[in-house]
Amino acid sequence: MSYLLAVGDSWTDQNFKSDILPKYDCSFPKWPNLLGDKLKISEVVNVGRCGASNDWMFNKCYDQIAKRKPKLVFVLLSHWSRHSIFNYNFSIYDLLGADYAAASGMISPDLDYWKYWIECERDAVEMAKYLWSHDLHVTDIINHTLREIWLFQTFCKQHNISYVIMSALEPIPTSDPWLQPFFKHDRSAADPELADITSYMKKTLKSPYTSRLNEKTILGWPFFEHIGGWSVWSNFVEKENFSFFIDPELDCHPNALGHKNIAEMFYRGYQNIYGKIS
Amino acid sequence: MSYLLASGCSWTVKDFNSEAGADVDCSFPKWPELLGKQLGIPKVVNVGNNGSSNASIFDRCYNEIINDKPKLCCISLSGWDRRKMFNNNFNIFTNLKTYELHKKNKLSGDRYDFTEYYENNQSEITYAKFLWENRINVASIMDDTLRDMFLFQSFCEQHKIDYLIIQSLQPIWKFWRDPQGFIISKSSPSFTENKRTDYMDLYNISNYIKHFLNSPYTSKLNESNLLGWPFFWEIGGLSVHDIFENEGYDKFKLHPNDPHPNALGHQKIANLFYRGYMDVYGKIL
């Protein structure tokens, strides 16, 4: 019996710890292990990492597959605006949003963590600002993740690997309270469409990659709620299942119950796609 | 008859202009167009782009292939230290070297003048330093290109697309090294200001080659389609840069201050691809 390979960001990371609530016990089992139990696969390899970008996730899958072929791969995607460079995950909208929130007094004193984070990432913030105002385009952000998904599907098909993809977060963090005023008030973008949230959805629908994706293996496709998709995040929030979060006010990562729910979603998705548990 | 798809960095760009001066004539045909003629393929799509990273070189191929499948895809790889972020490309070692030259007041050195580059690329230089000091490791530098090559090879084989890959620049350019083989120089501020405990791994070229040889991807690559493999001259490979050097670089050089290939250099590259195609696929299209 081969193994289950799982990848994602902080919503998947085996060693996740809440930076904002460091005393919160995060030792509960994460969704990859819970899913392994449900599927009766004893070996689970979880390569999830906090802050991971989608391209980083797929890269880690390939790295693992190149060493040993898994039986199943489960990918829990993150924001599409993240990008890995070398082994570092550059989260452009998180950086811009947090910087904007810090500068405009939106970060309350009990969220010193974010101020500390912004200080540590100061050079990355400057790079994010530079990209935003010089050469960043909605099409590039959208195609970056779509191309990765398409390549991964093509690769898995060729190598006869079963897989399921789902998204933890909204593709673009449109409901992030820090980013809404940023999108609204910052007018320095090189591409004016960057501040228009609907443009991301339009470009997704028009991308040449979209029509070539195998939607059957992507749960919640096309992920954006406004065009009929969903993410785990939107699923939790829409059902007002705030009990799935560590703390709905301070840390919206999934708690033990949230991880059980994610495992259940993947499990049902797997059954629907592949119709069997082996 | 389907088309020839070519991708690469400035060594491939159809409308390349030299920064050595507006009077440098760059209107000669580039290797993709020359190769198309040699192979009798009338339609050539050249998606070469200045400053391209290898990831970006492959991305632009997929962007074409998704719309129309080519008969043959020819890739000319660039420096392995280059990285893309969305549609932007960063030349990490150029930025670090520029920072070093600036600190030593040698921007206008005896080989190339980096003054203008330094003035126009402050954000990138700062970011390269940030990455170098905090994030980069040898494994990620090497595996990123090897993984891209492996994926591209898998993709072409699945879709029955003929392909060839060549290395234009040296993977880790000799210019970035000092005579002892250290990346950037040992007296560079990037070296002396660095607080990382694993910094030595990054400075020593032999670590890059060790990782190259040990990467899980290396043994999975189809070497016959990689012209000059294993690319690093230290282990018996060749880049186009090395071939030019072996035959006298000056005759292939666009200008004394611009090492990009001239008309003869482009013809040489087209010939390398042509011979490679005949060796691998053994036919004229």
Residue-range domain boundaries for chain B: 4-90+139-176+203-281
CB contact under 8 A, B154 and A126: no
Q: What is the pLDDT at residue B196?
A: 55
| Rounded mean pLDDT, A255-268 | 97
Q: How far is B264 from chain A (nearest CA, A)?
A: 34
At A44-53, the pLDDT tens digits run 999 999 999 9
Which of residues B21 and A253 earns the better pLDDT score? A253
Q: What is the pLDDT at residue B106?
A: 82
At A100-153, the pLDDT tens digits run 887 877 766 556 777 777 777 888 888 888 888 888 999 999 999 999 999 999
pTM (2 decimals)? 0.92
CB contact under 8 A, B154 and A90: no
3-state SS of chain B is: CCCEEEECCCCCCCCCCCCCCCCCCCCCCCHHHHHHHHHCCCCEEECCCCCCCHHHHHHHHHHHHCCCCCCEEEEEECCCCEEEECCEEEEHHHHHHHHHHHHCCCCECCCCECHHHHHHCHHHHHHHHHHHHHCCCHHHHHHHHHHHHHHHHHHHHHCCCEEEEEECCCCCCHHHECCCCEEECCCCHHHHCCCCCCHHHHHEHHHHHHHHHHCCCHHHCCHHHEECCCCCHHHCCCCHHHHHHHCCHHHHEEECCEEEECHHHHHHHHHHHHHHHHHHHCCCC
Using the Cβ of A137 and the Cβ atoms of chain B, whether some distance falls under 8 Å is answered with yes
For domain A4-90+139-175+195-274, which architecture applies? 3-Layer(aba) Sandwich (3.40)
Which positions of chain B have pLDDT values less than 50? none
Cis peptide before B230 (omega within 30 of 0): yes
pLDDT band at A77 (very low <50, low <70, confident <90, very high): very high
* Beta strand A162-167 pairing with A72-77: parallel
Q: What is the pLDDT at residue B207?
A: 86
Angle of helix A112-120 relative to helix A122-134, nearest 10 degrees, comes to: 80
At A199-246, the pLDDT tens digits run 999 999 999 999 999 999 999 999 999 899 999 999 988 777 788 999
B4-90+139-176+203-281 topology per CATH: Rossmann fold (3.40.50)
Chain B interface mutation, best of A123, A193, A203, highest count of B Cβ atoms under 10 Å: A123
Using the Cβ of B90 and the Cβ atoms of chain A, whether some distance falls under 8 Å is answered with yes
- Judge whether residue A13 has pLDDT over 70: yes
Q: What is the pLDDT at residue A142?
A: 96
Query: Would you tell me which residues 136-165 of chain B have a C-beta closer than 8 angstroms to some C-beta of chain A?
Result: 136-137, 139-141, 143-144, 147, 150-151, 154-155, 157-158
Q: What is the pLDDT at residue B184?
A: 58
| Rounded mean pLDDT, A48-67 | 96
Point out which residues pair with B167 in neighbouring strands: B77
H or E stretch including A245?
Answer: strand A245-247
Look over chain A and give the mean of its residue pLDDT values, rounded to a whole number. 90
CB contact under 8 A, A66 and B136: no
